[in-house]
Amino acid sequence: MKSALENVKVVEIGESVSVPYCGKLMADLGADVLKVERPVLGDLARRRGPFLHNIPGADRSALFLDLNMNKRGVTLDIGTNTGREILQRLLQDADILVEDFTPGKLESMKLGYSHLKEINPHLVVTSLTPFGQTGPYRHFKGSDLVSAAMGGIAYANPRWTGDAGQEPMRALQIYSFISGITAALAAACALRVQRQTGLGQHVDVSRMETSALTLNFFGEYWPYNRTYVSRADKAEQAPAHDVRCKDGWVCIVTASEEQWKRFVDFMEKPELAEDERFRDVYARGEHWDALEPLITEWTSRYTKLELFEKAGKLRIPLAPVHTIAELVEREQFKERGFFIRVSHPATGEQTYPGAPYKLAETPWAVRMPAPLLGQHNKEIYCQRLSYSQQELVRMREAGII
């Protein structure tokens, strides 16, 4: 095998981030992913910036180009009888369908799992929606911000400000990406079962539940002792904070007394180790208001990389808080080839994030840039499904493709 998901056929029908990212993860590992978009308008992500040189265009969105590498793309209106028939034909030999329709919508169009398994018993249908296929909210719409709010993570963050009136944290699209990862993993597990039994199944992924899952141990405070951690709480332990330095911020975490002693020696303030207010991690958390200015007065003399390099030699947990511009230039990313250059006919060669993993025998690779809107209509409809050129023209004129 040249790639991990070689010979896996995926059909993707979804907009913006979650479903396209799920499809991208599989495409990057060699799956043959066919992206189905609405005629004329295409994926909503095509209309979301940033755009190259701030010039909008269906094929100029950085978000779309990043999320849809390694896919082929067609346009299709599945709201028409012909469109539904074409989709059914595309799914007859597919392994996975990834979709984000409101629960019940595909069923009403005779394209739900109960219908599709009759056409293709080994098809894995992965549905990725704001609230899942069941429950009182199943028909509700929802964005990434809604998922973070209703999943609880927005209230829990930012933590340790001491300001109970501070607004909840905006999630900045993170849960759309995390739910895409979750859906890809779940689909891959269902694919393994399909390979063993020959049977597909319906995979139901909820973005709200994905958000709730990321509460991690913060979410255990309530079931364990009927308390909860929120943005109004101070850190129980310290230092476990971001503090200002000469050119930005560094994160400092001293999890043991040995690390704390090395840290105060590093600061050239060994007397702090003997200060009763800072006798252990919990006392330091309680007196963080007194400790923070002492640390900040020292860190403000140095740049974050100076602090990082010196702390590393002393085995003190301290890390720079990178800006996005700094990330691209970091030697660690360069050495591992994380950021990649990809050429696209509409935007030329640009920089994109690559994969955060390396498979030694079946490596991740960029095989093609994101498709132009409807780029592969002729290849898929004429060559794979045997429609004639004349039929293709008629379907285009009728708005079917």
Are residues 102 and 186 located together in one domain of the fold? yes
pLDDT in tens, 153-169: 777 665 544 455 566 66
Q: 317: number of CA atoms within 13 Å, CB side?
A: 14
Q: Which domain holds residue 264?
A: 240-323
Residue 229 within any structural domain of the chain? no
Single out the residue in 289, 323, 357 at which a domain terminates: 323
| Res 129: pLDDT | 94
Residue 283 lies in a domain: yes
How many other CB atoms are there within 10 angstroms of residue 196's CB atom?
8
pLDDT, one tens digit per residue, over 62-78 is 999 999 999 999 999 99
User: What does pLDDT average to over the chain?
Assistant: 90
Q: Are 272 and 200 contained in the same domain?
A: no
- Average pLDDT value for residue range 189-211: 95
For residues 186 and 89, membership in a common domain is answered with: yes
- Which pLDDT band holds residue 213 (cuts at 50, 70, 90)? confident
Give mean pLDDT, residues 78-84: 97
Specify whether the backbone of 216 is left (phi greater than 0), alpha (psi in -120 to 50) or beta.
left
Which of residues 294, 323, 352 is at a domain's end? 323
114-122 mean pLDDT: 96
Please give the residue that has the higher pLDDT: either 393 or 143.
393
Residue matched to tokens 């069941």 = 134
Q: Which of 323, 352, 372 is the last residue of a domain?
A: 323
- Is residue 225, in this structure, part of any structural domain at all? no
| One-letter identity of residue 256 | S
Backbone angles phi, psi at 396, to 5 degrees: -65, -45
CATH code of the domain covering residue 247: 3.30.1540.10
- Assess whether 24 and 151 both reside in one domain: yes
Query: Do residue 154 and residue 262 come from a single domain?
Result: no
- Give the sign of the dihedral formed by CA 155, CA 159, CA 162, CA 166: negative
Examine residue 2 and state whether it is found in any structural domain, yes or no: no
Whether residue 28 lies inside any domain: the answer is yes
Helices and strands (DSSP H and E) totals, the chain: 18, 11
Does residue 48 have a pLDDT over 50? yes
Domain-located, residue 390: yes
| pLDDT tens sequence across 338-378 | 999 999 999 999 999 999 999 999 999 999 999 999 999 99
* Domain total in the chain: 2
Percent of the chain with pLDDT over 70: 91
Specify whether 37 is located in the same domain as 135: yes
